[in-house]
């Protein structure tokens, strides 16, 4: 599986409050997408296009267990790459079927507006703009299985363990 898209950069310690502010938590999941990153990049949700890539620094997704990964997926973000991803947020990405990879050095290897090409076959990323290539941290097999199924709910539905939504 390969993903290619325009890069948007965010820094270190991006918390779930910035991604999915509490004040909009009770809106529908689709309505929430209008407010993603509103606090630190007002209007960004209107600028981003389906398939674009987020690159973060260290500890991306720190904070609460709110479904911020779902909001990124619903907004159409193609993938998250970061030097490191908070463990709880990383697992939420997998559970929602949202592509996310830890790629040490990725923040320094890209400028905003560059084009990234990500391979989930070898967990590598290439900066199409500069030609730089980085190796990411492989997703454990069990998590990769959940991710490739589209998330935990589609996997459980496919296994007959839960009923599809009504």
Residue 47 pLDDT grade (very low, low, confident, very high; cuts 50, 70, 90) = very high
Is 138 domain-assigned?
yes
pLDDT of 124 reads 96
Q: What is the pTM of this model?
A: 0.93
Q: What are the CA-CA distances from residue 10 to residues 18, 93, 151 (Å)? A: 11, 17, 25
Which distant-in-sequence residues (6+ apart) come within 8 Å of 14 by Cβ?
56, 57, 59, 60, 61, 62
Residue 42 domain flag: yes
Domain interval for residue 122 = 2-158
Burial 41-67 (b: 16+ CB within 10 A, else e): eeeebeebeeebbbbbbbbbbbbeebb
Tell whether 91 is covered by a domain. Answer: yes
Distance CA 56, CA 59 (A): 8
- Whether residue 153 is contained in a domain is answered as yes
| pLDDT tier, 2 (very low <50, low <70, confident <90, very high otherwise) | very high
15 belongs to a structural domain: yes
Residue 121 CB neighbour total at 10 angstroms: 8
Please state, rounded to an integer, the average pLDDT across all residues of the chain.
94
Three-state secondary structure of the chain: CEEEEEEEECCCCCEHHHHCCHHHCCCCHHHHHHHCCCCCCCCHHHHCCCCCEEEECCCECECCCCCHHHHHHHHCCCEEEECCECHHHHHHHHHCCCCEEECCCHHHHCCCCCEEEEECCCCEEEECCCCCEEECCCCCHHHHHHHHCCCHHHHHHHCCCCCCCC
Find the CATH number of the domain harbouring 137: 3.20.19.10
The answer, yes or no, to whether residue 166 has pLDDT greater than 80, is no
Is there a domain that residue 166 lies in?
Answer: no
Q: For the chain, how many structural domains are there in total?
A: 1
**165 part of a folded domain:** no
């Amino acid at each position: 599986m390969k993903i290619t898209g325009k890069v948007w950069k965010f820094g270190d310690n991006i918390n779930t409050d910035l991604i999915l502010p509490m004040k909009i938590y009770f809106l529908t999941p689709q309505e929430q997408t209008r407010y993603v990153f509103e606090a630190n990049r007002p209007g960004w949700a209107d600028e981003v296009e389906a398939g674009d890539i987020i690159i973060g620094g260290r500890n991306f997704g720190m904070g609460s267990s709110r479904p911020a990964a779902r909001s990124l997926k619903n907004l159409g973000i193609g993938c998250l790459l970061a030097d490191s991803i908070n463990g709880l947020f990383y697992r939420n990405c997998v559970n929602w079927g949202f592509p996310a990879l830890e790629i040490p050095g990725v923040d320094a290897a890209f400028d905003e507006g560059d084009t990234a090409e990500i391979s989930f076959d070898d967990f590598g990323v290439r900066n199409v703009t500069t030609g730089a290539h980085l190796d990411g941290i492989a997703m454990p097999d069990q998590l990769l299985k959940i991710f490739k199924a589209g998330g935990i709910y589609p996997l459980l539905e496919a296994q007959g363990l839960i009923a599809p939504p009504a």
